[in-house]
Amino acid sequence: MPPNMRDWLPDDHLALFVVDAVGVMDLAPFYRAYRADGHGRAAYEPSVMVALILYCWSRGMRSSRRIERACVEDVACRVIVAQQRPDHATIARFVVRHERALQGLFGEVLGLCAEAGLASVGVIAIDGTKIAANASRDRTLDYERIAREIVEEAIATDKAENEQFGERRGDELGPEVPLGDGRREWLRKAAQKLERERAARARPIPRSRAKRLVDAKQRLEEELAVECRANAEYEAFRARGVDKTGRRLHHNLTKPYTPPASPAGKLNLTDPDSRLVRGMRGWVQGYNAQAACNEQNLIIAAEVTNSSGDFGSLGPMLDEARRELAAAGVTGTPSLVLADAGFWHTEQMNEITARGTPVLIPPDSTRRKGHARPGSNGGHFDFMREVLSRPPGTALYKQRAQLIEPFFGDVKHNRGFTRFARRGRSAAQTEWRLIAATHNLLKLHRHFQTLPA
């Protein structure tokens, strides 16, 4: 009998725990991407690839080439892939192909944590951190410079083609292709050959089917004619500035939009979705990765934005946390929401407190200690300062750093996640949710290790 590869690792090893956890997850979105009729080359088992990615990302290995090397050198990875050796291109293409499905693994892991009693609804801390994009800051240009570089590139291309082709256009046919009458004769013979092949393959269409095709064609032509007449009538009314009832249309509909001479703002040519965001050590070309966690340091929401500040993200992050918890089968109302000064949004805070959840957010950041920003005096601002200045409020707000900051420190320092590997906000969202999912998976693994045997 062949040896049982699971005997190569201790029973409480993370790799075996990941394999067992993936075995109870809903991986239907992964399987739907493959053909079920047996045609095509056999793919690697999706559950094996998912387990491999989750384990390697938990260990800080995100490079597809490093994962490929681990499938040869690392015993745990060899156990997961059952001695197979997927190459780095296969691993990278799996991540790209199943981008949305990999995002959904966050909810699957959160559901397992909920079953273990870790996904409780109590104090929720929300914060964000800046993660660099896979893009060069020097390639962030304004539209005027982009247009100038396009023109300069076009001039250089024309110059190079003139030197290469001279007076010729460059796409002329070579001497091996017949010209004039010879080309027409060659095309005529090729067309006749194709017609003979089509006639040999063609099957007579049954009369009933032919009649249905003719009727369907007539119906489509009639519907197209009716739509064309309706569009013509609409355009005629629009040209006169009135609708069918004779009422005058809104002036914005009759006046065409006049774009500005040059668009405002800047764009990064390497990753157009990324922005210049301000971090602790200056400006970074990247994204604002936000997370929400509960009292067990479990991540219950993970989102990525390209806004430098956190203003306006309090409500959406709390709503996302509620949706994720509800999908995991966890019900209840948070007892307290904690966030730093960057999340201050009066309307969103009033809406959250109206639902019965108190919010603690300082109106002044630590950088502005003793120097309130203009317009932040009186009303809610003074009330929050008074609450936070008292010992109960101070003790409650201290929990924010204890809950959310360890996650960011572990991700950046221990697992080396300081830059997104792929480009685009959707790809960055996938990576961030995978990081959060593996964090929760590690929490769940440690939870079972502490249970009595």
183 vs 150, which has greater pLDDT? 150
Nearest to 127 by CA among 309, 325, 346, 351: 309
Is 63 found in the same domain as 112? no
Is 346 found in the same domain as 293? yes
Is 125 found in the same domain as 90? no
Kindly state the tokens that stand for 175: 């001497």
The domain total for the chain is 3
pTM of the model: 0.77
Kindly write down the DSSP assignment for every residue of 320-332, as one continuous string: HHHHHHHHTT---
Residue that finishes a domain, picked among 227, 254, 281: 254
Q: Does residue 331 form part of some domain?
A: yes
Is 437 found in the same domain as 319? yes
245-289 per-position pLDDT tens digit: 666 655 444 456 676 676 677 888 899 999 999 888 788 999 999
Q: Does residue 260 form part of some domain?
A: no
Which residue range(s) make up the domain with 323? 103-135+271-450
The number of angstroms, rounded, from the C-alpha of 146 to the middle of its chain's C-alpha atoms is: 26
Q: Does residue 262 form part of some domain?
A: no
Is 428 found in the same domain as 288? yes
Is there a contact between 287 and 131 (Cβ–Cβ < 8 Å)?
yes
Range from 178-192, 284-298, 374-388 that averages highest in pLDDT:
284-298
**How many residues are listed for the chain in this entry?**
453
Q: Does residue 263 form part of some domain?
A: no
Q: How far apart are CA 369 and CA 288, in angstroms?
A: 24
Q: Does residue 415 form part of some domain?
A: yes
Q: Does residue 264 form part of some domain?
A: no
Nearest to 19 by CA among 65, 63, 53, 67: 53
Q: How much is the pLDDT for 1?
A: 60
Which residue is associated with the tokens 């050796």? 85
Torsion angle (degrees, nearest 10) of CA 308, 310, 313, 317? 100
Q: How far from each other are the two terminal CA atoms of the chain, in whole angstroms?
A: 30
Burial class (CB in 10 A: 0-12, 13-18, 19+), 279: middle
Is 394 found in the same domain as 286? yes
Mean pLDDT along residues 303-332: 92
Q: 203 pLDDT exceeds 80?
A: no
Kindly state the tokens that stand for 70: 């681990």
48-76 per-position pLDDT tens digit: 999 999 999 999 999 999 999 999 999 99
Q: 179 pLDDT exceeds 90?
A: no
Q: How much is the pLDDT for 106?
A: 95
Q: Does residue 221 form part of some domain?
A: yes
Is 421 found in the same domain as 288? yes
Q: Where are the alpha helices (DSSP H) in 116-175?
A: 143-165
Is 407 found in the same domain as 347? yes
Is 399 found in the same domain as 349? yes
The dihedral built from the CA positions of residue 59, 65, 67 and 72, taken in this order, carries a sign that is negative
Q: Does residue 266 form part of some domain?
A: no
Q: How far apart are CA 311 and CA 290, in angstroms?
A: 12
Backbone angles phi, psi at 234, to 5 degrees: -60, -45
